[in-house]
């Protein structure tokens, strides 16, 4: 008898809750002391793998906060207008030949928007917009 592996759509809610708990914990530490670290998660500025603008051929550009890579991988996507204002946030969970997306809403979205605004205040968002224009 073989067990059927769960699809990303079955796992995404739990993964989003776990990831948001980690992000929330690190953000709170960062706000108290930008150099603070968590024994398991490290420092907020080192959390995840990369921040980059993605310009897909079949959809709007977004800022990708890639948290992990491989199988499975996960990321947040921040969709922004030409002025650098974020209008939508999405969590994406992917595994080999499978994937699921979920809009981030409520308190989780508010936290991600707070983080995005911090990136905006330090000039990162403006740099991403210029990068997107150049591509």
Give residue-wise pLDDT tens across range 43-95: 999 999 988 888 888 888 899 999 999 879 999 999 988 778 899 999 999 99
Q: Which is it for strands 86-95 and 73-80: parallel, antiparallel or unpaired?
A: antiparallel
Give residue-wise pLDDT tens across range 95-111: 989 999 999 999 999 99
Split at pLDDT 50, 70, 90, the class of 127 is confident
Residue 1: predicted pLDDT: 44
- Among residues 114, 76, 108, which one has the least CA distance to residue 93? 76
| Cα angle: 13, vertex 70, 67; to 5 degrees | 55
pTM of the model: 0.88
């Amino acid at each position: 008898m073989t067990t059927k592996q769960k699809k990303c759509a079955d796992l995404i809610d739990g993964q989003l809750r776990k990831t948001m708990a980690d992000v929330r914990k690190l953000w709170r530490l960062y706000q108290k002391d930008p150099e603070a670290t968590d024994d398991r998660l490290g420092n907020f500025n080192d959390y995840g793998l990369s921040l980059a603008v993605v310009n897909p051929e079949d959809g709007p550009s977004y800022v990708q906060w890639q948290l992990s890579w491989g199988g499975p991988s996960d990321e947040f996507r921040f969709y922004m207008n030409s002025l650098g204002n974020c209008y939508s946030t999405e969590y994406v969970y992917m595994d080999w030949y499978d994937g699921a997306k979920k809009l981030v809403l409520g308190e989780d979205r508010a936290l991600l928007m707070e983080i995005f605004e911090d990136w905006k205040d330090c000039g990162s968002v403006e740099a991403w917009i210029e990068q997107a224009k150049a591509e």
